[in-house]
Copies of this chain bind each other. A is one copy, B any other.
Amino acid sequence: MSVTFAKGFTAAGIAAGISSVEGKKDLALVVNNGPLDAAAGVFTSNRFCAAPVQWSRKQVADGHIKAVILNSGGANACTGEAGYEQSKATAETVAGLVGAKAEDIAVCSTGLIGELLPLDHVLAGAKQAYAALADTDEAGADASHAIMTTDTKPKTVTLESAAGWRIGGMVKGSGMIAPQLATMLCVITTDAVVSAGQMQAALNAAADLSFNRIDVDGCMSTNDTVLLLASGASGIEPDADEFNETVAKACASLARQIIGDGEGASHDIRITVTGATTEDAALACGRAVAASNLLKCAISGNDPNWGRIVSSLGTVPEDVAPYDANKVTVDVNGVRICENGGAGRDRSEVDMTPREVHIDIDLNAGDAQATVWTDDLTHEYVHINADYES
């Protein structure tokens, strides 16, 4: 399913021998068969952004992308001119296969930083993937598997409007997830008839409220890429608001799935800050709490440790988020354990058994609010990121 749910798209996911895991699907191809080839993208703001990001950002700027090739098993980041040439050669090969210019091909990579890709495998894999292209559910599913790294499951979304146009999407991402963007590759397809400008505006707004509001481990990646492709194959011009809302819904679903599969996570934590003077203030407070290792450890130990919540809130400068510490309340899973900046109901009353934990903070300073998501910090997270084979 995933990207092939929208009409006009074919996809494939194959094992090209790029990943060090024998036989793992590691190369995906998504082709837009039109009639439109409109595209929009958002990318990592990391200054050490990877070669494929440098390539794709340039190509999506004119609003046209015909196909996207994505690989796991190597990030092609911090690989200099040689890395850039690899991304370019990959795009050229795909362009030759699909009958487009290299400038209409986006390239995405994910995996270890600092190493070049086995380019012969990538190029041979591109041909193999091209031969496997299909518009079936299975082809879409294969593509969503091929981009996984430490992900334990594929992450996809399908939405259909009442008018009949569709959105499909896939994302990978599990660790190195933080604003801005997460370590993630994401391709969202639609068969709606939309312009590149309209898509870019919709994607910017949607990413800001989804991928930019999740934080697994506070670490920004070099390879983050979110692409939105439109084929126009439904022949339907969508209501503008409905299109924006549906793109936002797709991104929110994919972002939520990333949090649900955060490295080693045993709890998904939703932090909602209300009563802020501005949305930015609410967001700054939410992000400060989401970044607290101590809180994330406490949650993994099933302790709703509100002291670690307010001590994180207290790091946000007053000019960023004006509030009175003596008026702050904190509810965890519906129990007000912090009242007026001090102890409220006993924290033993909080049921911490559900995977999803809700932290609701009321600053009592205004009417604005924001929600961010994070994961708890577990032994397994350390295991995944310390005990790997380097």
Cα A343 to Cα B378 in complex, Å, equals 31
Q: Is B46 a contact partner of A217 (Cβ separation < 8 A)? A: no
Q: Which of A26-34, A89-97, A107-115, A247-255 contacts B (4 or more CB under 8 A)?
A: A107-115
Chain A at the B interface: mostly helix, strand, loop or mixed? loop
Q: Which of A59-67, A126-134, A197-205, A287-295 contacts B (4 or more CB under 8 A)?
A: A287-295
Cα A388 to Cα B299 in complex, Å, equals 11
Q: Is A307 a contact partner of B341 (Cβ separation < 8 A)? A: no
Cα A340 to Cα B48 in complex, Å, equals 11
Residue of B nearest to A310 (CB): B48
Shortest Cβ distance from residue A220 to the other chain B in the assembled complex, whole angstroms: 5
Cα A314 to Cα B50 in complex, Å, equals 11
Cα A114 to Cα B292 in complex, Å, equals 17
Q: Which of A2-10, A14-22, A75-83 contacts B (4 or more CB under 8 A)?
A: A75-83
Give the contacts of A90-144 with B (CB-CB under 8 A): 112-115
- Residue A193 is within 8 A (CB to CB) of chain B in the complex: no
Instruction: Tell me whether A301 and B387 are in contact in the complex, defined as CB-CB below 8 angstroms, given that A80-B340, A293-B293, A294-B217 are known contacts.
Output: yes
- Residue A386 is within 8 A (CB to CB) of chain B in the complex: yes
- Residue A347 is within 8 A (CB to CB) of chain B in the complex: yes
Instruction: Tell me whether A390 and B305 are in contact in the complex, defined as CB-CB below 8 angstroms, given that A48-B311, A311-B48, A385-B294 are known contacts.
Output: yes
Pick from B46, B80, B308, B379: contact of A342, CB below 8 A.
Answer: B80
Cα A316 to Cα B220 in complex, Å, equals 10
Interface string of A261-296 (1 = CB under 8 A from B): 000000000000000000000000000000111100
Q: Is B385 a contact partner of A378 (Cβ separation < 8 A)? A: no
Q: Is A326 a contact partner of B377 (Cβ separation < 8 A)? A: no
Cα A314 to Cα B48 in complex, Å, equals 5
Q: Is B221 a contact partner of A49 (Cβ separation < 8 A)? A: no
Instruction: Tell me whether A314 and B49 are in contact in the complex, defined as CB-CB below 8 angstroms, given that A219-B292, A293-B217 are known contacts.
Output: yes
Cα A186 to Cα B325 in complex, Å, equals 25
- Residue A222 is within 8 A (CB to CB) of chain B in the complex: yes
Q: Kindly list chain B residues whose C-beta atoms are within 8 Å of the C-beta of A382.
A: 297, 300, 377-379, 381-382
Q: Is B326 a contact partner of A386 (Cβ separation < 8 A)? A: no
Pick from B305, B306, B313: contact of A47, CB below 8 A.
Answer: B313
Residue of B nearest to A75 (CB): B307
Q: Is A318 a contact partner of B47 (Cβ separation < 8 A)? A: yes
- Residue A176 is within 8 A (CB to CB) of chain B in the complex: yes
- Residue A152 is within 8 A (CB to CB) of chain B in the complex: no
Instruction: Tell me whether A386 and B219 are in contact in the complex, defined as CB-CB below 8 angstroms, given that A310-B113, A314-B47, A341-B78 are known contacts.
Output: no
- Residue A230 is within 8 A (CB to CB) of chain B in the complex: no
Q: Kindly list chain B residues whose C-beta atoms are within 8 Å of the C-beta of A316.
A: 47
Instruction: Tell me whether A114 and B293 are in contact in the complex, defined as CB-CB below 8 angstroms, given that A80-B326, A311-B220, A313-B48 are known contacts.
Output: no
Q: Is A220 a contact partner of B305 (Cβ separation < 8 A)? A: no
Q: Is A385 a contact partner of B325 (Cβ separation < 8 A)? A: no
Instruction: Tell me whether A315 and B78 are in contact in the complex, defined as CB-CB below 8 angstroms, given that A298-B385, A387-B301 are known contacts.
Output: no
Q: Kindly list chain B residues whose C-beta atoms are within 8 Å of the C-beta of A308.
A: 113, 219
Can you list the 7 inter-chain pairs with the closest CB atoms, starting with the nearest?
A113-B307, A297-B385, A301-B386, A48-B314, A46-B314, A303-B390, A47-B314
Task: Write 14 A-B pairs (CB below 8 A) sorted by A numbering.
Answer: A48-B314, A48-B341, A49-B314, A80-B340, A114-B343, A218-B293, A219-B294, A219-B312, A220-B312, A222-B310, A294-B385, A298-B386, A301-B387, A377-B382
Give me the interface of A with B, judged by CB distance under 8 Å. 45-49, 75, 77-80, 83, 112-115, 175-176, 217-222, 291-294, 297-298, 300-301, 303, 305-308, 310-316, 318, 325-326, 338, 340-343, 347, 377-379, 381-388, 390
